[in-house]
Structure 1
Amino acid sequence: MLVVDDSRLQRRILASLLQKWGLSVIEAESGTDALAICEVAPPDLVLSDWMMPGMDGLDFCRAFRRLPAEAYGYFILLTSKSEKIEIAQGLDAGADDFLTKPVNPEELRARISAGDRILAMQRELSEKNRIIRDTLERLQAVYDSIDRDLKQARKIQQSLVPRLSQEFGSSHVGLLLKPCGHIGGDLVGMFSPRAGQLAVYSIDVSGHGITSAMMTARIGNYLSAVYFDQNLGVEPGDGGYVLRPPAAVAAELNARLMADTGIEEYFTMAYATVDLESGRLSLVQAGHPHPLLIRGDGRAEFVGTGGLPIGLLADAPFAQTELTLAPGDRLLLYSDGFTEARVRGGGMLDAQGLVDMVARCPPNGSGQEWLEDLFWDLTAQMDPDCEMEDDVSAALFEFNAG
């Protein structure tokens, strides 16, 4: 504790009382000397006379409050002043308490005890703040590490869809993949094991985040456009590989997923194969939204027979829909991130909203650019107070024979 008084006798009286009570005391005979002491070692408690030559107690208190300090210092002014305006001046300067002269020992002890309680609470609060600050710093370090990992995971996931647009003879496929976070549970893709044959798919894994993204990586390997020896959508034939029926692919994926114990995730899928010469299209719809067939004249109709998601039930049946496309027809496979998006006015976009958006898209638009226009229309309709809650993805197949 620092005792400041220009009267040596007064300092000694106060110091003697304080030392009897077990306090360590430092003395200063002026505000200037006291400030120099505080600059080196800020005290917890200061007991300072108000009226001193040179720097008085009020000026010293102001200077004391301006000093940088990690902990709070409790400041008591000794004064013969008792007017309210003078007490207000002391409080404004930064004093915490006042004692009138001559000092009553019991009152002094009580005031110091009150100050000590406040300092104890302040130290406890400072320690808790330190713990919180340290914890937040550790959490920030963990968050930064996770954020870096997620950004890298996003790059890896994007590598599963290396091409967003590709020509197959006169036909064309465009892809759209918009995760609602760093990574998502949607996957779109295409592959062609030989000229004249094409498979295109849209997949939505249950849930969001890392687990769903890991599932999309696994499914992406099952439907690899590069390593056909690992692709469940093809089988050996005619000196190379040929496409398997979509229903057989869905059944094989279901068997693989059901065989893995401990995996609770499932996924929906719309998977189609096309003969690029005849326009013959085979489709399986496993719990996924009904694909939208857009005829060359602009008419649109939903196709598919529904079905169970993959990974829910062993030996689940998967029905196959057969269609014949005419030149200029397009097939849109999409995730429910489109139809279940929250739009202005409440509610979801729904299937009719998707049809209306398709009608508004440029009729001569093509591929990925057309899908981007569709997504832009969706975001323009979304409730601005709601963030994108689900991944949005789509695959557009445009058929032209030859």
Structure 2
Amino acid sequence: MPVERRRILVVDDDDDMRELLERRLKRWQHEVVVADNGLKALEILKEEDIQFVITDWMMPEMNGLELCKAVRAGSGNRYIYIMLLTGKAERNDLVEGIEAGADDFIVKPFKKEELQVRIRAGLRVLEFERQKEQALQEVRAKHQALEEANKTIHAHLEAAGRLQQAMLPQHHRTFNDFRFESLFVPCEYVAGDMFNYFQLDEARTAFYLLDVAGHGVPAAMQSVTLSKVINPSTLADQMAVKDQIDPRVPILDFFDPVAMVTKLNQIFLGPSSGTQYFTMFYGVIDTRTRRISLTQAGHPPVVWLKSNGGAELVGDGGYPVGLLRKASYDLIEFSYQPGDRLYLYSDALTDGRNDERESFGQKRMLATFQQYGDLPLREALESVHKTLKDWVGDEVLDDDLSILGLQFLNPE
């Protein structure tokens, strides 16, 4: 590849040498600028775009070494190649010149062929520097574009996170004789967890907590979809047109937990739906009978703290929703008393690991809920969360954390 012709600054206080160099360089098609000392050369370099300097070592006012040092101190991002002309050929002299910033030396007297070869070598170095700088600029431009794209993505994810949290129910709500409190801690901007509670009629209230497999955007998209499906507006729409519903349209039975989860499994089954499987608890409270009906679908067991001081885990498994076509689900029923509490939670609570990679675990989780059983429901949730954070320490939760607390009050 032919080397690009350059402007070359010749610096020498000897008129004959300066004229000789100028004549030869022009013959080789270079544009030549001259100066008779280092100070003038430095002013020229400040004013003009020159990247190649041939300078004598010994000059009045500012010698070649001083010029090298000044150029290296003030050239900025522009690389200037400096060839030092000298009558000195001792090793110490060469070391001194290199340390001052010279790129090459040529010892007087020299042959024109040697000078031409040295100039070509220097121009190749400058060409390499130009290509390197161009590549760096391209990298900087791409990095800047990535930074802007990253900022945009983060802004969108933050907005999506705020939107998802806005879709959750209020942190607390009291119905006839029970109260809900909730805690939601996504491990990223958005989460695969979702929960809700809403009245079905004057006597019955539905509640659920689900956890989509994985986390991040894909899990969050499905959790938002599910929140739109398991929603009081869906029930209202079904009731409004119950005599005109197309038999091919899936009907959700909000009053029957087993029927509800079974239908969800049919709707969100595997690859054909293009969705991920999820675990959940779905329940219905009937205040007339003071009974709770629950269905567990692969979700961690419910914590039941009883007013008499007892505590137990309710539920022993079940199949996740959307995993098996013929999955069947069981009904769990029990009566509640004023003062009882239920806690539904995602498995991030029990799976949180400390710095020794030991899980928080069900046993420790149950003991923690019991420890804070006398606190107001809101404070109990926050205390459980703090205990988990203390356990994991500097580690981070690998999954989204949700807790839905339910306390049965004294009707009076």
Given the two structures, how large is their TM-score scaled by the length of structure 2? 0.89
Q: Is the 8 A contact 2:268 2:275 kept in 1?
A: no
Q: Is the 8 A contact 1:175 1:189 kept in 2?
A: no
Structure 2 segments unaligned to the other structure (5+ residues): 1-7, 243-252
Matched, 1:57 2:64: yes
Matched, 1:373 2:383: yes
Give secondary structure in 2 for the equivalent of 1:348.
Answer: coil
Q: Is the 8 A contact 1:278 1:401 kept in 2?
A: no
Structure 1 segments unaligned to the other structure (5+ residues): 237-241
Shift of 1:58: 2.0
**Corresponding residue for residue 260 of structure 2:** 249
Which amino acid in structure 1 is aligned with residue 199 of structure 2?
A: S
Identity %: 32
Give secondary structure in 2 for the equivalent of 1:25.
Answer: strand
* CA pair 231-190 structure 1, distance change in 2 beyond 3 A: farther
**Corresponding residue for residue 317 of structure 1:** 328
* CA pair 358-200 structure 1, distance change in 2 beyond 3 A: same
For 1:140-151, list aligned pairs within 5 A. Answer: 140-151=147-158
Shift of 1:243: 4.7
**Corresponding residue for residue 347 of structure 1:** 358
Q: Is the 8 A contact 1:345 1:383 kept in 2?
A: no
**Corresponding residue for residue 249 of structure 2:** none
Shift of 1:294: 1.4
Shift of 1:5: 0.9
Shift of 1:401: 4.8
Which amino acid in structure 2 is aligned with residue 374 of structure 1?
A: V
Question: How far does the alpha carbon of each residue in 1:214-241 deviate from its partner, in whole angstroms, 9 at most, with x for none?
Answer: 1111111122246642589x998xxxxx
Give secondary structure in 2 for the equivalent of 1:318.
Answer: coil
Shift of 1:204: 0.4
**Corresponding residue for residue 22 of structure 2:** 15
CA distance in 2, matches of 1:231, 1:281: 24
* CA pair 305-74 structure 1, distance change in 2 beyond 3 A: same
**Corresponding residue for residue 50 of structure 2:** 43
**Corresponding residue for residue 250 of structure 2:** none
Which amino acid in structure 1 is aligned with residue 269 of structure 2?
A: M
Shift of 1:155: 1.1
Which amino acid in structure 1 is aligned with residue 317 of structure 2?
A: G
- Find 2:231's aligned residue among 224, 233, 257: 224
CA distance in 1, matches of 2:329, 2:217: 28
* CA pair 134-230 structure 1, distance change in 2 beyond 3 A: farther
- Find 1:364's aligned residue among 346, 356, 374: 374
In the alignment of these two chains, the number of paired residues is: 396
Shift of 1:84: 4.5
Matched, 1:298 2:331: no
CA distance in 1, matches of 2:120, 2:368: 74
Which amino acid in structure 1 is aligned with residue 359 of structure 2?
A: M
Matched, 1:396 2:402: no
Which amino acid in structure 2 is aligned with residue 307 of structure 1?
A: G
Shift of 1:28: 1.9
Task: Give the aligned CA root-mean-square deviation in angstroms.
Answer: 2.6
Bigger Cα displacement from structure 2, 142-151 vs 71-80: 71-80
Q: Is the 8 A contact 2:235 2:254 kept in 1?
A: no
